[in-house]
Amino acid sequence: MAHRSGETPASPGASVDTPLHEAAASAARQEAARLTAMDVHGTVLTWVDNAGITRVKAVPTARLAHAAQWGVGMSPVFDVYLSDDSAVTSRHIGGPDGDLRLFPDLDRLTVLAAQPGWAWAPADRNEQDGTPYAACQRGFARRMTERAAQAGLELRMGYETEWVVTLAGEGEGAAEQAVAGDGARAANGAPRYAAPGPAYGMTRMVGLSDYVRDVLRALAAQDIDVLQIHPEYSPGQFEVSTAAAGPVTAADHAVLVRETIRAVSARHGLHATFAPLVEPGTVGNGAHLHLSLRQDGGNLFRGGDGPFGMTRPGEAFLAGILHELPALLAVTAPHPASYLRLAPSRWAGVFQCWGPENREAALRFIPGAALDADSANAELKCVDATANPYLTAGAVIAAGLNGMEQKYSLPDPVSGDPAVTGAAVPRLPTSLPEALDRFRGSDVLREALGEPLYEAFLAVREGEQARTRDDSPEALVAGLRHRY
């Protein structure tokens, strides 16, 4: 089972043997005894890099206490790795020199239901002297959460997870094996969908009933509160939504949910991909972010005199996100392939507008049920799984807080599909270079990220664009099927 608490505290902050280190080691020894009794032999420690790839180091159960006390070594160069594992460099990070310490967050230690014998914990990254690593993405999300808390604000977030299920192939370069039935693809390395049937159709649930059940069973065993699960629009596509949590925990859950689905898929002889697109021209996978904002126990998206009952601070927070959205897109849709998914009339949120229950708006406002004030929230739709969920959470908070500081107001809401109605609504950037231009011009995001993280992130995004500049849409999409 998972251990739960509030948003996680910082890792131990000194390299000498301090009481914090000793307490962490003591707690880890107790956890190791529990894991040993459950026949768990190792714990994977994960972090998500600037390419959006979940990287890992693992320790045997007997070494968990040592890892909690002293950390596990890992080079900072992974912060400038691209999605194909090539590397670039930046002003502060890059090259063969240096080392960091990965500290497992024992409050998130979880026995993995779909990987027998293994546990998982997200890692915080510190310098060798124990001080927080300035470019730690999880640390960034925590800093922004703490900045909001200092203003008396509590954020709740939750990510939707969309994925496509295909029959597992023989390797990254191999075509998936054939499957009979509606929805299959047959040509030259194209994916072979394991879940044919209509969008949102029961046929798809019946065809993969045991698989979907095992996804639910594994998530429940890991204390992940699932709100709903269902087939999505594209062939072989599913979506699972999980309950809201604090921003850091929500990002942890996004990682754990994705890797659990991946593991369950493998055990069923299937392959799960979370890439923005599986085939060009289709509706792709999103990782939409839901958020709510509370102060003094009340939901700031309900009970006020702002638009659709928002309070004025709640409106300003959302207006800050909407104002910063062209720059935020470099964080939430950070791969060149992301912009193949971001097409009008696909509910991907490609217009810089907001509207109540408008799934074509980049920022969808959900007033919630009349009798449930807590259900009011907003959904940021232009997010996919190439985005680092910790960076997404932290950047969205930074933009919202700036909106409150500047006392921004929302423009008029938009209804309908602007691509159909012809409404004069700004289009968000249509390519990664365009989004990066807006990102470079954002003082809000640069200040929030800090120079080391900002420079490394920008170097990775520029490197990804340069690496794929001459790729066809087919090559661009195919290169991601086994990376995300």
Q: Mind giving me the DSSP string for 325-340?
A: HHHHHHHHS-STTHHH
Pairing of strands 237-242, 351-356: unpaired
Span 254-302, pLDDT tens digits: 999 999 999 999 999 999 999 999 999 999 999 999 999 999 999 999 9
Span 125-158, pLDDT tens digits: 999 999 999 999 999 999 999 999 999 999 999 9
Decide: residue 58, CB within 10 A, 0-12 exposed, 13-18 middle, 19+ buried. Answer: middle
Q: Map tokens 């008029």 to a residue.
A: 412
Cα–Cα dist 148/453, whole Å: 20
**Are 119 and 43 spatial neighbours (Cβ–Cβ below 8 Å)?**
yes
For residue 27, count other CB atoms closer than 10 A to its CB. 18
**Are 354 and 410 spatial neighbours (Cβ–Cβ below 8 Å)?**
yes
Pairing of strands 298-299, 226-231: unpaired
> What is the separation, in whole angstroms, between the first and last Cα of the chain?
26
Q: DSSP characters for 177-235?
A: PP--STT---STT---BSS-S-TT-HHHHHHTHHHHHHHHHHHHHTT--EEEEEE-SST
Residue 255 pLDDT = 98
Cα–Cα dist 48/255, whole Å: 8
Cα–Cα dist 28/33, whole Å: 9
Classify 79 as helix, strand or coil: helix
Domains annotated on the chain, with CATH: 19-133 (3.10.20.70), 146-478 (3.30.590.10)
Q: Map tokens 């599913």 to a residue.
A: 238
Cα–Cα dist 437/431, whole Å: 10
Please enumerate in sequence order all residues whose Cβ is within 8 A of that of 339, keeping only pairs 6 or more positions apart, or say none.
333, 429, 430, 431, 432
Tokens of 385: 């799984």
Tokens of 310: 């928002």
Alpha-carbon torsion angle 60, 61, 63, 66, nearest 10:
140
**% of the chain with per-residue pLDDT over 90:** 87
Please enumerate in sequence order all residues whose Cβ is within 8 A of that of 165, keeping only pairs 6 or more positions apart, or say none.
193, 194, 195, 208, 211, 236, 237, 238, 265, 270, 271, 272
The per-residue pLDDT string of the chain (484 residues; one tens digit each, 9 = 90 and over) reads: 444 444 544 444 444 456 667 889 999 999 999 999 999 999 999 999 999 999 999 999 999 999 999 999 999 999 999 999 999 999 999 999 999 999 999 999 999 999 999 999 999 999 999 999 999 999 999 999 999 999 999 999 999 999 999 998 634 443 333 333 333 343 446 789 997 789 999 999 999 999 999 999 999 999 999 999 999 999 999 999 999 999 999 999 999 999 999 999 999 999 999 999 999 999 999 999 999 999 999 999 999 999 999 999 999 999 999 999 999 999 999 999 999 999 999 999 999 999 999 999 999 999 987 657 678 999 999 999 999 999 999 999 999 999 999 999 999 999 999 999 999 999 999 999 999 999 999 999 999 999 999 999 999 999 999 999 999 999 999 999 999 9
Contacts 24+ apart (CB under 8 A), 60-64: 61/32, 61/35, 61/36, 61/119, 62/32, 64/28, 64/29, 64/31, 64/32, 64/35, 64/104
